[in-house]
Amino acid sequence: MGRDKEAEKNLRRQATIDKPFTVEGKGLHTGGISKVTFVPAPSDTGIVFIKEGVRIPALYNYVSDTKRRVILKNKDKSVSTVEHLLSAIYALGISNLFIYIEGEEIPILDGSALKWCELLESAGIKIQDTRRRTFYLKENLVVRSNNSLLLLFPSNRFEVLCVISFPKSFIKWQRFYLESLDKYFTEIAPARTFGFYYEVKDLIEKGLISGADLESALLIGEEWYVNSPRFWDEPVRHKILDIIGDFSLLGIDLKMKIISIGSGHSLHVKALEILTDKIEGGKGL
């Protein structure tokens, strides 16, 4: 069914939440408990984390680390593992939000973006009067690094095709195509973060995944998943979830088709740098 005129109008306007709410939970990598409070924000604020009085905008130029997760930093304050939450915020069309954090890391919850979507929707989505800034990609772009590749093409919507391959596991390749954000909540949001059985010990020794368990992550064995998957191709769906969260760090609505072949956080940030040059040059606005 097509959207009515009022719904189409709302899609072109900025939005925040209707009422504040607070969430507590453990971090995926630190294992520590964090408290996160969401507060409505005025038009043109953007998504802003606030930690001990320091504002940390959810923009790519505040990214300080992309190893296994995205860390944002301003001055001496940082917030870790923001990508799942930002993915949900972007998919819901929320433009402006204050996020106060007590702790080091955004709670992992169930390892997906589904609970974040449910919590944000429960707070209510408030449409604001200001028009959204939207970027329409006007040319084909290629961004590569080693064996990873991003292909960006013009489109009248935001769509993502992702291909992954992990030869050391049974996942020789997986492919998934998200044709529009309308299907995000059923096809992408429930997909959990994942890891491989053979690398668990090494990651723990590096001080990572201290908060991971089989409720909040999908563990991949040699021949199949160790715990039950929500989808047979859950890993590639989760990669799309991450891509959306990372690309939201441009702080603007995007109209383009993204084809990802084995890309990760660092390559996504590299692509954002290139896209920023296009945006600042006024191309596509």
Is 29 flagged in the annotation as binding? no
Catalytic residue among 265, 268, 270, 278: 265
The residues, ordered by sequence, that sit 6+ positions from 84 with a Cβ below 8 Å of its Cβ are: 106, 108, 109, 111, 112, 113, 116, 193, 241, 242, 245
Catalytic site includes residue 29 = no
* Tokens found for residue 185: 């909540």
Is 84 flagged in the annotation as binding? yes
Report H helices in 49-170.
Answer: 83-91, 114-122
Other Cβ atoms less than 10 A from the Cβ of 275: the count is 23
Other Cβ atoms less than 10 A from the Cβ of 150: the count is 21
Which pairing describes strands 253-261 and 134-136: parallel, antiparallel, or unpaired? Answer: parallel
Q: Which of 210, 12, 239, 32 is nearest to 129 (CA)?
A: 12
Is 268 flagged in the annotation as binding? no
The conformation of residue 213, written as its DSSP 8-state character, comes to -
Q: Where is the binding site, in residues?
A: 84, 238, 242
Catalytic sites, residue numbers: 265
